[in-house]
Amino acid sequence: MSTVIDLLLAADVRPFTIAAAIVIVLAIIELLSTMVGLSLSHIVGKDVEVEADGHSAISGLFLWINAGRVPLLILLLLTLGIFSIAGFFLQAIAHSVGISIPAPIAAVVAIIGTIPAVRATSRGIARVIPRDETYAVDDSDFVGQVAVVSIGPLDQGLPGRVRLKDVFGNWHSVPARAAHDSNALAVGSNVLLVDRDTKSFIAISAPADLIAQQQSSDRA
C-alpha cells in the first residue's frame, strides 16, 4: 500500500495525481449534493457562454472543445480526468524503458494530448445527453410549469428534484420541495411549481387539466 502511495506522490507524476484527486473530490461532492436535492453542476456548472464570433485564442479554444454544448462541470471533469490518465500513461511508458520525464515537460505533453481528446469525448457526450441541464431560460420561468418528481418524495424537509421541459424542448432538473399545506409528492408524480425560494422551487400536486394540457403539448 505504501509503495502505491509513494508512486502516486512521486515528483514526476504529482501533477497527474493532483488532477485525479480533484476529479474524485468533485464527483463525491456532486453525488452528495444530489442526494440532498442540490447539484454542484447547477451551482457552478452553468454552460460556458462563448461568443461565436470571438477572435481571441481562448474563445476559439473553448468553442473547439464544445464549450456551451456540455455543462461546465462535465467539461472540467473530462479535462482533468483525461489529463491525469494521459500523464500516468506517458510516465508509465517512460519508466518501462528506464527513464523519467520531468513533470513540467510531461504536463505539457499531456495537455497537448488532452485538448483533442476532450473535444472528441465532449462531442460524444453532447450527443448522448443533449443538453439535459441547459440554462437557455431563466429559472424563474419555471414557476407555473408542470414537472415530474425524479428524486423524492417531495415533502417539507430537504429538497428533492423534478424534471421539466422548457419552451425550447430542453430538459431541466431542478431542486423542489412540497408546499407547507401539501402532502408528500411521490417519485413519478406530476407536480405544479407554484413558487420558489433561495433553495428550491415549491410544488403542489398538478391539477388534472394542466397534466392533460401538458401531455397534449408534448404530443404536438
Report pTM.
0.53
Residue 63 · residue 123 · CB < 8 Å? no
pLDDT in tens, 197-211: 888 899 999 988 877
Q: Domain locations in the chain?
A: 2-128, 140-219
Polymer length in residues for the chain: 220
| pLDDT at residue 173 in the model | 84
Q: What pLDDT score was predicted for residue 56?
A: 46
pLDDT score for 198: 82
Q: Name the DSSP class of 48.
A: P
How do 171-178 and 201-205 pair as beta strands? Answer: parallel
> Across the 220 residues of the chain, what is the mean pLDDT of every consecutive 10-residue run?
66 91 88 65 49 45 54 83 93 90 93 87 69 55 90 89 81 88 90 89 89 68
Tens digits of per-residue pLDDT, 79-101?
A: 999 999 999 999 999 989 988 89
**pLDDT score at 93:** 93
Q: Which CATH number, 2.40.50.140, 3.30.360.10, 1.10.10.10, 2.60.120.10, labels domain 140-219? A: 2.40.50.140
Quote the DSSP letter at residue 207. P
